[in-house]
Amino acid sequence: MKVCTMLPSATEICFALGLGDAVCGVTHECDFPAEAHTKRVIVSSRVPHGITSAGIDQFVMDCTSRGESIYRVDAEGMREIDPDLIITQDLCHVCAASPDDFAAALSQLPRVPKILSLNPHTVADVWDDVRKIGEATGTSARAAEMIAQLEERVAAVRRAVEQAERSARRPRVICLEWLDPFYVGGHWVPEMIATAGGRDPLGRAGEPSVSIPWGKIRDAQPEVILVTPCGYGLDKASEEFSGMRLPDGWDDLPAVRDGRVFASDSNSYFSRPGPRLADGVAIIAKAIHPELDIAIPQDSLRRVRKASRVSA
């Protein structure tokens, strides 16, 4: 079987199911596991390299207003691969290539491949996508085993925080999925926060992330803030946050006063609907309850401190 994946989470799932040899085409963002770098890149981004969050937001809006995609699909590469299966998504046309992006490339293939389009909105949907990929690739047994392991990982975190909650209330927690403008995480992120022992006052479980004016963040008075810009790793998230102009009143937020503002690796643990969302739940729980014995990946949570600067 020859598989082309149009999104990093699908690449990660395929490798976890033992399908590394079958994966023949990936996106420019497919970076986990490391072996993904050895695969042919058939999807790349048109977003200029090195621009700020505000610049990326403006570029995406401009492309959307013109009806243009922010992705390029290598039609010749797909024709040479001649895939049996293409895994794509219809969840977010900003986060990954969609079926519309490779429609022209499909017309050039010597035969019509099977198309599997994923559209998860909750953690359970993500685990179900593992099952769907298993069914499409003949690895259903391995998929079932992996789902059971992921569910137990999340359940273990839930049990740990439930013990802690017997003597403490749930704090208000927000994940900043974008910094300029501010967005709070949606879809599975509010659910992850709830499982980890927090309460998300702004995110909408199962719904897309939304742009939030500063006033709503200020009024929500978050007690823990996770800086997890979509598409950013830990270092880039920390750097972006350190260089931004924060609004007047930022220092008055409980999370800032108490030193509970953290950066994490959104690519690995939050924005991509893949197996490592289970680690993301553990990371949030550790930020909320540092005293608990909850294992998290090394260098996956970093406290960020800075004095605020009044925005223009």
Q: What digits encode the pLDDT tens for the residues 107-127?
A: 778 888 999 999 999 999 999
Q: How many CA atoms lie within 13 A of 36 on its CB side?
A: 24
pLDDT, residue 188, reads: 96
Is the domain covering 3-119 a CATH 1.10.150.20 domain?
Answer: no
Is the pTM higher than 0.85? The answer reads yes
pLDDT, residue 312, reads: 36
Q: Please provide the size of the chain in residues.
A: 312
The type of residue at 311 is: S
CATH 3.40.50.1980 residue ranges for the chain: 3-119, 144-303
Q: How many helices (H) and strands (E) does the chain have?
A: 12, 12
pLDDT, residue 261, reads: 97
Percent of the chain clearing pLDDT 90 (strictly above): 70
Instruction: Classify domain 144-303 at the CATH topology level.
Output: Rossmann fold (3.40.50)
Tens-place pLDDT, residues 127-170: 999 999 999 999 999 999 999 999 999 999 999 998 877 667 89
pLDDT, residue 89, reads: 80
Q: Who wins on pLDDT, 33 or 98? A: 33
pLDDT, residue 169, reads: 80
Q: Band of the pLDDT at 311, cuts 50, 70, 90?
A: very low
What is the average pLDDT value for the chain, to the nearest integer?
A: 88
Is the pLDDT score of 24 beyond 70?
A: yes
Range in 50-54, 138-142, 229-233 the model is least confident about: 50-54
Q: Could you tell me if 225 and 187 are in contact, meaning their C-beta atoms sit under 8 angstroms apart?
A: no
pLDDT (mean) for 36-61:
77
Helical residues (DSSP H) of the chain, grouped into ranges = 8-16, 53-65, 75-81, 103-106, 123-137, 140-165, 189-195, 214-220, 234-243, 254-257, 266-269, 277-288
pLDDT (mean) for 87-108:
65
